[in-house]
């Protein structure tokens, strides 16, 4: 790597990974959107940058506050993909809360367009794809961009396609292998990204900036050899079905297959083992890559 290229990469990593350790739970969304941005041609990247410049000061502050960036931090596309979570406490956006997920029946083995036609993640993706393409107002357009980036990340987190009775795994208590995640959904959102360390070592002693940069570098290399053309030949219903297949696997420890039903777990807590962590961390990495490739393809069509 040339000296000039090394400097450019260092600047990108510093801007991308400027959040502190406490914001690690946002990392999956940041990775999806940064990797998707990397895949775009420069002219499309510029269109995204131009949209983000038009963000209101209120939204810039919201994004930077949520990501614990400095107030004058320039919002990147990776930052902006956490916006849909940053606005959850604003009642003006209450209608979007159910758009983060898709609740299904425990007997569901296949998701179709008829499974949910409004107020869920599959309909949200369709809605904001249309808004991004056709909106004339810059505020509507940039909101659609940020929502779409977030929704495509969410649908690839398997537990965003799940059951209302346990709030998508938020009621499924676990004994974590690493980190402080207390339920299965939280573990998939955050702790599954952690490296496995010896018990006597504390995660807060890690260099998180280096840790985040390492994940980004690893996934960037994997992206180069990933079956991008194959992954692009799909839509939101396919992505939801991929997540459904993952959560219905007995090894996932979310439910127990009894006949066709994915019944609630009998025991109170699930122990996250090193084998579980290693196996599903690989799957989570793949889901992040798939989301990035698919988001990039959609943005290339819509911008």
Q: What is the pLDDT of residue 209?
A: 80
Q: Both tokens of residue 208? A: 């998180």
**Closest Cα to residue 161, out of 186, 127, 185?**
185
Q: Both tokens of residue 12? A: 């990108």
Q: pLDDT class for 13, splitting at 50, 70, 90? A: very low
**Model confidence at 298: pLDDT above 70:** yes
Mean pLDDT in residue range 120-140? 95
**Helix, strand and coil percent figures for the chain, each rounded to 5:** 65, 5, 30
**Model confidence at 296: pLDDT above 80:** yes
Residue 67 DSSP class:
T
Q: pLDDT class for 212, splitting at 50, 70, 90? A: confident
Does residue 299 contact residue 48 with C-beta atoms inside 8 Å? yes
The CA–CA distances, whole Å, from 15 to 4, 74, 142, 148, 221 equal: 17, 8, 20, 22, 20
55 in any annotated domain: yes
Residues 81-118 pLDDT 10s:
999 999 999 999 999 999 999 999 999 999 999 999 89
Residues 232-258 pLDDT 10s:
999 999 999 999 999 999 999 999 888
50 in any annotated domain: yes
Q: 274-302 and 121-134 helices cross at what angle (nearest 10)?
A: 30
Higher pLDDT residue, 26 or 240?
Answer: 240
247 in any annotated domain: no
Q: What is the pLDDT of residue 259?
A: 87
- Tally of domains in the chain: 1
Q: What is the pLDDT of residue 71?
A: 83
Residues 171-204 pLDDT 10s:
999 999 998 899 999 999 999 998 886 554 555 5
**Closest Cα to residue 257, out of 107, 105, 104?**
107
Higher pLDDT residue, 192 or 24?
Answer: 192
Does residue 52 contact residue 142 with C-beta atoms inside 8 Å? yes
194 in any annotated domain: no
Per the DSSP assignment, residues forming a β-bridge with 258 are: 261
107 in any annotated domain: yes
Q: Both tokens of residue 28? A: 């999956």
Q: Both tokens of residue 303? A: 């911008």
Residues 138-156 pLDDT 10s:
999 999 999 999 999 999 9
Mean pLDDT across the chain, nearest whole number? 88
54 in any annotated domain: yes
Q: pLDDT class for 207, splitting at 50, 70, 90? A: confident
Give Cα 133 distance to the centre of its chain: 22
Q: What is the CATH number of the domain that holds 41?
A: 1.10.575.10
268 in any annotated domain: no
Q: What is the pLDDT of residue 243?
A: 97
Q: What is the pLDDT of residue 203?
A: 52
30 in any annotated domain: yes
Domain that holds residue 15: 3-165+207-241+282-302
């Amino acid at each position: 790597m040339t000296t000039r290229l090394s400097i450019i990469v260092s600047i990108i990593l510093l801007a991308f990974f400027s959040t502190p350790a406490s914001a690690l739970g946002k990392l999956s969304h940041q990775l999806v959107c940064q990797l998707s941005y990397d895949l775009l041609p420069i002219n499309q990247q510029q269109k995204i940058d131009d949209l983000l410049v038009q963000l209101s000061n209120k939204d810039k502050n919201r994004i930077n506050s949520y990501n614990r960036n400095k107030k004058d931090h320039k919002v990147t596309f990776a930052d902006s993909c956490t916006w849909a979570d940053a606005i959850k406490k604003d009642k003006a956006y209450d209608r979007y809360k159910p758009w983060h997920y898709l609740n299904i029946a425990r007997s569901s083995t296949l998701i179709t367009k008829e499974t949910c036609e409004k107020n869920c993640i599959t309909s949200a993706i369709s809605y904001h794809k249309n808004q991004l393409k056709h909106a004339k107002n810059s505020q509507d357009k940039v909101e659609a961009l940020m929502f779409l980036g977030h929704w495509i990340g969410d649908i690839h987190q398997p537990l965003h396609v799940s059951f209302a009775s346990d709030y998508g795994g938020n009621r499924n208590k676990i004994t974590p292998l690493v980190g402080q995640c207390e339920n299965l959904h939280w573990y998939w959102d955050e702790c599954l990204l952690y490296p496995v360390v010896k018990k006597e070592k504390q995660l807060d002693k890690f260099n998180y900036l280096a840790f985040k940069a390492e994940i980004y570098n690893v996934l960037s290399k994997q992206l180069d050899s990933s079956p991008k053309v194959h992954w692009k030949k799909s839509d939101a219903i396919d992505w939801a079905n991929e997540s459904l297949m993952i959560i219905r696997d007995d090894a996932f420890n979310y439910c127990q297959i009894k006949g066709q039903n994915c019944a609630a777990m009998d025991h109170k807590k699930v122990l996250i083992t090193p084998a579980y962590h290693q196996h599903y961390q690989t799957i989570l990495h793949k889901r992040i890559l798939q989301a990035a490739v698919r988001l990039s393809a959609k943005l290339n069509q819509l911008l």
